[in-house]
Structure 1
Amino acid sequence: MMNPDSEQALAEIVASAKSPFRIQGGGTRLHGAAQGNVLSTAGLSGIKLYEPGSLTLVAQAGTPVSEIQKTLAKENQRLPFEPRDYRKLLGTSGEPTIGGVVATNSSGPRRIQAGACRDSLIGVRYVDGQGEVIKNGGRVMKNVTGYDLVKLMAGAYGTLGVMTEVSFKVLPGIETTKTLLLHGLDVTRAVQAMSIGLGSPFEVSGAAQNIKQGLTALRLEGFASSVTYRMKGLRDLLKEFGEMEELEAGASDEFWADVCDATQFAQDNGDLWRISVKPSDAAEVVARLPSDADVSLDWGGGLIWAVVPEGADVRSALGDVAGHATCLRGDAEMFHPEPAALAALSEGLRRQFDPRGIFNTGMMG
């Protein structure tokens, strides 16, 4: 394993490379088909700049997410997009890093309200495939100079470059949270209820369904008086959906931590899939999965988690339903095959950023 402790050392390693690298942050995720020697960013750690007054934070890519969250919490601030922690789900160890969060565009239940990781990202520094240090974006939201490589790097899984520094817009903390639970809805009715809640003026920040438990959940966050007022309105709006109850702050936080990290699947045997579709297609997708699959919904039905029997061909089962299915555990290709035109565009981008093909070769086609 190579573990450079500075951006310059990383650039020199990449510039002199004779074989591919498998880029690793905290080692908390499975690597799919990535090939090569491990190139770790864990040595690039530390918060470089934090200005609570301007809601801005800059950190090196190997900085543990827990360190960033603790620093923000001292000023009653937070990362808006609720990054996920997959260690329980995937049975891995290590410590999630902020560079890994950006590389995978890791975004939790709050994505439906606050946007994804890439929407809070305002700047990056990275080393490209030639060993050159590139900076894009800035440390304030108004900086829009040049091409928006910031958004491109988020979710690229390290195939375009090795990030060394990331800059974020952060938000004030949340005073309290409550969750409205609806009981016994099938997938179609659950998606209807979640869609109504999300389309309401009550600022729902989480909408999920645990099919096995028969629970459909909608989360409200903010000042206590506002949450109480909005909860009453939400209950009235959804009264046609039958039995309901409320989870107060502590129980609500625990519930959504489990939703965020998909911990219900941690002990399941079988292949693990993460399927993104239109919420209106969720019921059809669930119906097409094996009858013994363990399934839950997030993002109002736009994200489907499923554990299916080993070897089940989930992508074929989806047929002509628009979306993509990612295999996080199993023998299938990790990423959904791209249409020919998109695959050509992706390959062209990789050739521009990594002409020698040394970053996470084989991971994304």
Structure 2
Amino acid sequence: MTLTPHTETDAAYVIRNAATQGTKLAIYGGNTRSGFGNPASTEEALSSRGLTGIVDYEPAEMVMTARAGTPAAEIEAALAANGQMMVFEPMDHRGIMGTSGEPTIGGVFAANVSGPRRFVAGAARDSLLGIRFINGQGQAIRAGGRVMKNVTGLDLVKLLAGSQGTLGFLTEVTFRVLPVPPAVETIVISGLNDAVAAKAMAAAMALPVEVSGAAHLPESVRGRFLAGALPEGEATVLRLEGLAASVPVRAEKLAAVMKAFGAVSRLGIEESSRLWREIRDVHPYADGTEKPLWRVSVAPSAGHQLVAALRLEAGIDAFYDWQGGLVWMRMDADPEAELLRRYIRALGGGHATLLRAPDAMRAHTPAFEPLPDAVAALSARVKQKLDPAGIFSPGKMGGTL
């Protein structure tokens, strides 16, 4: 049964009752990430979809406050009407997860959902200024404030962002927004293998041209972007954003350096916007299958080494975002969690999160990177403090997106 309270008071009442009765609650917003995490037995689901509406938005201040169940599309529309955006570019999981419904702004922050601009602009949690949430005892708590200088409760704000509903039920969020760049251009370098592409992206990031997106699309996925309209061969793509007078000048400088690596072409604002939206939403793997899909974060120089090593032992497909530091990896059959994590450790560390797999596989595959003992102990203490009865989202324990 799904409970959908329409006020914070009603939500607190539901949670107090659950804590008293020991009822486990699956916490979600629009349920667009259904199937993520390890299967867990819950007796009831608690959704924030009934808590909707923009509470406060002053475009001049570039700060918005909204109730947690407000559809992300409504937030984006209000921002777009004022030439503003969420700088962290939250992805839409519906394609890869095979779900419907509407992503909510509370769900975005609860899962710390971030897109291609993450490696230069920060994650969702870095834009989050304040929250209201209900802890596992049914107590409403406010943390943070409307402006960056107000750091009251900052630790709780950071803790709840990315906690996947395991620490509290978000009811309201306050976050920073930024102007939409008026000009966008993408430099495409064609024909580079994964290792050379990593060097090209590193060289681009070292230039004073302010690259805001850096991804490498191997030949196995290149044709699934822009409906196959990218030039032939592997595509290494670099995004530039900013003022209309600035972007073309920076693009010329970047293209001149990248010509040393391979053939260079350029995409304008419309094609660029579509391409980076498809990269953000992991378009090649929104394929209607349940093939295991991993989100792997490693050092940018290690991503291609990880993929090369795994290709020798497992059937995989992959592409790279965040200058090679984010690897979207789809397995042909078994998730190969132990093998994957062993190679990650050998290459200097990182973490792997299993986003998608058949239920039978998720039942015996740890979806989140195992925490070091000291961190696990600290996490357990935080969980005990905020959710002493352990009623919140048991299948999401162990990590963040």
TM-score, normalising length: structure 1: 0.97
Query: Aligned letter for 1:224?
Result: A
Q: State the match for 1:202 in structure 2.
A: 209
> Residue 28 of structure 2 is aligned with which of 4, 9, 24?
24
Q: Is the 8 A contact 1:288 1:318 kept in 2?
A: no
CA distance in 1, matches of 2:175, 2:41: 30
Greater shift after overlay, 47-56 or 339-348?
A: 339-348
Query: Aligned letter for 1:143?
Result: N
Q: State the match for 2:242 in structure 1.
A: 222
Alignment of 1:85 onto 2:112: no
CA distance in 2, matches of 1:39, 1:318: 33
CA distance in 2, matches of 1:31, 1:256: 24
Q: SS at 2:142's partner residue?
A: strand
Q: Is the 8 A contact 2:258 2:264 kept in 1?
A: no
Query: Aligned letter for 2:37?
Result: G
CA distance in 2, matches of 1:261, 1:185: 23
CA distance in 2, matches of 1:97, 1:200: 37
Q: State the match for 2:285 in structure 1.
A: 265
Q: Is the 8 A contact 1:288 1:317 kept in 2?
A: no
CA separation of 1:234/1:164 partners in 2, compared to 1, >3 Å: closer, same or farther? Answer: same
Q: State the match for 1:156 in structure 2.
A: 163
Q: SS at 2:396's partner residue?
A: coil
CA distance in 2, matches of 1:101, 1:66: 11
> What are the within-5 Å matches in structure 2 for residues 12-161 of structure 1?
12-17=13-18, 18=21, 19-29=23-33, 30-33=35-38, 34-36=40-42, 37-161=44-168
Using the TM superposition, give the Cα deviation of residue 284 of structure 1 relative to its aligned residue in structure 2, in angstroms: 1.4
**Residue by residue, what CA displacement relative to the aligned partner does 1:326-361 show, whole Å, maximum 9, x if unpaired?**
111122221111122211111111111100000001
Query: Aligned letter for 2:70?
Result: T
CA distance in 1, matches of 2:30, 2:241: 30
Q: Is the 8 A contact 2:36 2:356 kept in 1?
A: no
Q: State the match for 1:325 in structure 2.
A: 352
Q: SS at 1:350's partner residue?
A: helix
CA distance in 2, matches of 1:78, 1:59: 14
Q: State the match for 2:305 in structure 1.
A: 284
CA separation of 1:15/1:201 partners in 2, compared to 1, >3 Å: closer, same or farther? Answer: same
Q: State the match for 2:395 in structure 1.
A: 362
Query: Aligned letter for 2:209?
Result: F
CA separation of 1:274/1:146 partners in 2, compared to 1, >3 Å: closer, same or farther? Answer: closer
Q: State the match for 1:310 in structure 2.
A: 333
Using the TM superposition, give the Cα deviation of residue 16 of structure 1 relative to its aligned residue in structure 2, in angstroms: 1.3
Using the TM superposition, give the Cα deviation of residue 173 of structure 1 relative to its aligned residue in structure 2, in angstroms: 1.3
**Residue by residue, what CA displacement relative to the aligned partner does 1:307-333 show, whole Å, maximum 9, x if unpaired?**
112214144234223011111112222
Q: State the match for 1:10 in structure 2.
A: 11
CA distance in 2, matches of 1:342, 1:172: 37
Q: Is the 8 A contact 2:36 2:355 kept in 1?
A: no
Query: Aligned letter for 1:294?
Result: D
Alignment of 1:340 onto 2:347: no
CA distance in 2, matches of 1:168, 1:146: 14
Q: SS at 1:216's partner residue?
A: strand
CA distance in 2, matches of 1:137, 1:219: 33
Q: Is the 8 A contact 1:22 1:35 kept in 2?
A: no
Q: Is the 8 A contact 1:289 1:314 kept in 2?
A: no
Q: State the match for 2:258 in structure 1.
A: 238
**Residue by residue, what CA displacement relative to the aligned partner does 1:245-286 show, whole Å, maximum 9, x if unpaired?**
001111111110100000111115621111010111112111
TM-score, normalising length: structure 2: 0.88
Query: Aligned letter for 1:79?
Result: M
Query: Aligned letter for 1:10?
Result: A
Q: Is the 8 A contact 1:21 1:35 kept in 2?
A: no
**Residue by residue, what CA displacement relative to the aligned partner does 1:67-105 show, whole Å, maximum 9, x if unpaired?**
000001111111110000011111110000001100110
Query: Aligned letter for 1:284?
Result: Q
Identity of aligned residues (%): 45
Q: Is the 8 A contact 1:176 1:223 kept in 2?
A: yes
Greater shift after overlay, 335-344 or 254-263?
A: 335-344
- Consecutive unaligned residues in structure 1, runs of 5 or more: none
CA distance in 2, matches of 1:24, 1:318: 28
Greater shift after overlay, 236-245 or 122-131?
A: 236-245
CA separation of 1:28/1:362 partners in 2, compared to 1, >3 Å: closer, same or farther? Answer: closer
Cα RMSD of the aligned pairs, angstroms, is: 1.3
CA distance in 1, matches of 2:155, 2:189: 41
CA separation of 1:35/1:199 partners in 2, compared to 1, >3 Å: closer, same or farther? Answer: farther
Greater shift after overlay, 314-323 or 54-63?
A: 314-323
CA distance in 2, matches of 1:317, 1:31: 18
> Residue 349 of structure 1 is aligned with which of 379, 382, 393?
382
Runs of 4+ in 1 over 3 A off after TM superposition: none
Q: SS at 2:3's partner residue?
A: coil
